[in-house]
Structure 1
């Protein structure tokens, strides 16, 4: 997940990586984000879990948050927004607060090794989009640390998940267990709330 800034007036700056991903040109005054293109930008409204489309972006990679969403977000000062790719959309939401990383209890280390969830920072973000997005972000980080994560779908009308964590390198069993249990908890929480 990438983060960008939002001004108190609701002006959002799209990070360069997201602009490149969207193939946004930089030589026009106002450009349209193609509705027929691979990706579209959607803004998350926390009041009713709805999404609104953004259709125009300035050449500087900025767009204005619509007034009703600014009000729904309770935006009164500068802040941060998250950009999350949820194919075929890029979802923009008010970034959640930084909180103590649960697996490492804010230490940045588990069994003397860098925590793969917070990447040693000791803090993670609570996502306004829910635990499933937190799970996706945590697993993205974790794969950088030699982890492979299997999601098993048992099929049928309902879907249940089982998360197993495997490390490429020689890591302590306790380290693996802490990370695996945390990821399972996120999946269970997201399943219960959906």
Structure 2
């Protein structure tokens, strides 16, 4: 019962963040500091960094699952916290890049164009959907509600892994078209 009380305490924050983060990102994504008259240098060095962070997140998520399968709950918890930190760092860099840079258009043609946009759209949609899943899964873990944590983690893990891996793929596919 105590687990449920702890979860309820966090539920309002989970939903606030799950709605606010995509809204704030959408608003900031549409703001370009150059268009507002600010003389800022494009942060063109960021895409390979945040793509690397996505790759690192994928590796750490896999390591976190391996840790819990081996019974190492402490390592699992630390790795998940690092993954959440990586996701926050990615998001901050992603928004900063788009606020200071000209939009990059994908230049591929034919089938590769459809593949790119399929991966990009599913990546974006799941990156929004994953927010409450990660937060709920995390809260259930820290509150000690392990059976409920395990149940939702089976959904959260593959989605989060997909978002991390496709973030790298999207970067690799669009990187030849970046203007520096």
Q: So what's the TM-score if we normalise by structure 2?
A: 0.25
The answer to which structure has the higher strand fraction is: 1
More helix by share: 2
Higher relative contact order (CA 8 A, sep 6+): 2
After TM superposition, the score normalised by the length of structure 1 is: 0.23
